[in-house]
Amino acid sequence: MGGTELYTKALAANQLAQGHRVAIFVPSTDYAAPDSIRPSWEEGLAVYRVPIGPQSRSQVFWHTFRQPQLAEAFTAVLAQEQPDLIHIQHLMGLPASIVDQIIRAEIPYAVTLHDYWYLCANAQLLTNYDQTVCQGPDWWANCAWCVLARAGHPHALAAVPALVPLLGARHHKLQRVLRQAQALIAPSAFVARLYDELGDLSQKIHVIPHGLELPIQLPAPTPDATAFDIAYIGGFSWQKGVHVLVEAFSHLPPPARLWLAGDPDADPAYTAVLRAQATTAVTFLGKLDREAIWELLARVDVVVVPSLWYESFVFVISEAFAMGVPVVASDLGVLADRVRHEEDGLLVPPGDVEALQRALARLQADPELRQKLKQGIPPVRSFADHAAEVESLYQTAVVSRAVDV
């Protein structure tokens, strides 16, 4: 399960606790075909898992245009549940035609913009051909080239004319999904700005920052006064910029330690590169559970988010701030919105090893600066506050739809 799934589960659980009836519809990687569409009950939630097996990258792309099994299952679930409102967390791997069903049934729906998939088939606005941040879709200039590079055929120029109308059709379908929604939810102002710039959707977009589910009691901070401790918590992949951090750290004077928390099996080749770069002061912690993450944050001096692509929110910033830990982040996209330079953290140009090394060296040498940044950290929003704002938007969407009908 990734961030979108975990968020969906948390939001649904909160709504259930508020007395609402909640059902979740999701494709399953199982193969067994059920005799009928029935929910499994998971912690009080009705979860409809439609078994279609694992989806390859190409299948995820094509299923936007057509996936009869999921479309038929969704028809059955609509009839069984008869919802007042539908919240689309993601359509990746689902047919866009299910939105046509929602519209025909005159059910209001909201869409959360968890990433940039509605604008970019890559979902990342990061090009496959040269790994640079994309400034927006252009089917001739970059989208077709990106598809070919991702498929492993970057020089198949003859395929470009065939891909352009296909990408245009995808764009048309997904823009219709966004334009017909009663509300679009952006987790950050940056995501809202980007979708508005590329899709002219300002009238529908509502910025509702994510909230954080905190443990009943946060662990007490236990920094080691004899060392400077740095943490990275997140995915191990090139676009996350972990290699930039490892190289920058290698130039810090001792005593400094770098703790890397993430799944080493997500991209074994990239993890091998990181291990080859790492000094003996770098520790690979593997994938941590929630309790272990809080314990790590309790003992570090700074958290680094060295991303090379457009993130959409970054929960680890909220988690670090909840523990009173300053953040050093790339001056890019939402990171520049969430970290205030010289107030609660430091911003550095993305991919700039020397700039990141200088920022970390500053913090290592200046405990007073670390204390100043800690004091500038704002309160962290609770998940309950986030869920309450989402519910308020639901109510507005239902009333608005009733008036329109």
Q: What is the pLDDT of residue 148?
A: 80
Q: What is the pLDDT of residue 151?
A: 76
Q: What is the pLDDT of residue 122?
A: 82
Q: What is the pLDDT of residue 158?
A: 75
Neighbours of 19 (CB within 10 A): 6
With tokens 């993890």, the residue in question is 271
Entry field: residues in the chain: 405
Is residue 325 within 8 A of residue 229, CB to CB? The reply is no
d(CA 22, CA 102): 17
Q: What is the pLDDT of residue 118?
A: 92
Q: Tokens in use for 117?
A: 């998939």
d(CA 315, CA 139): 32
* Three state DSSP letters for the chain: CCHHHHHHHHHHHHHHHCCCCCEEEEEECCCCCCCCCCCEEECCEEEEEEECCCCCHHHHHHHCCCCHHHHHHHHHHHHHHCCCCEEECCCCCCCCHHHHHHHHCCCCEEEECCCCCCCCCCCCCECCCCCCECCCCCHHHHHHHHHHHHCCCCCCHHHHHHHHHHHHHHHHHHHHHHHHCCEEEECCHHHHHHHHHHHCCCCCEEECCCCECCCCCCCCCCCCCCCEEEEEECCCCHHHCHHHHHHHHCCCCCCEEEEEECCCCCCHHHHHHHHHHCCCCEEEEECCCHHHHHHHHHHCCEEEECCCCCCCCCHHHHHHHHCCCCEEEECCCHHHHHCCECCCEEEECCCCHHHHHHHHHHHHHCHHHHHHHHHCCCCCCEHHHHHHHHHHHHHHHHHHHHHHC
d(CA 104, CA 110): 15
d(CA 90, CA 114): 8
Is residue 294 within 8 A of residue 217, CB to CB? The reply is no
User: What pTM, to 2 d.p., does this model score?
Assistant: 0.90
Going along the chain from its start, the domains and CATH numbers come out as 3-114+182-211+384-404 (3.40.50.2000), 228-375 (3.40.50.2000)
The torsion angle over the Cα atoms of residues 186, 191, 192 and 198, rounded to 10 degrees, is -130
Ranges of residues in the chain with a pLDDT under 70 are 1, 31-36, 139-141, 154, 157, 401-405
